[in-house]
Structure 1
Amino acid sequence: MPNITVELLSGRTLDQRREFVAAVTDSAIAILGAKREAVRIVFTEIEKSDVANGGV
């Protein structure tokens, strides 16, 4: 069973998440041979102020 954890900056809409879930699930089925009902995706939202890129 693929367990996929996704960290996203907050602010994505429910429709965006649903579209993402559909695409990732389809990819897991096609590439990993997973069954649709076995694919689990967990989102963790983070605030932009909690992220630093390039030491900044």
Structure 2
Amino acid sequence: MAYRINEDECIGCGACEPVCPVSCISEVEDSKRKIDEDSCIDCGACSGECPVECISQV
């Protein structure tokens, strides 16, 4: 399993990116972030940092 960022709800704050231990979160259009689900190790660190709770497990 992996985590996914709902890009419609993401505010582009970037709080999730530095806490990812495998650096699988990257910036995309409009400063929003995206998770490379193939690289995600399912740790959930990013989900706990998101102020708008737009990161969920798939």
TM-score by length of 2: 0.25
**Which structure shows the higher helix fraction?**
1
TM-score by length of 1: 0.26
Question: Rg larger in 1 or in 2?
Answer: 1
**Which structure shows the higher strand fraction?**
1
Q: Which has the higher contact order (CA 8 A, sep 6+)?
A: 1
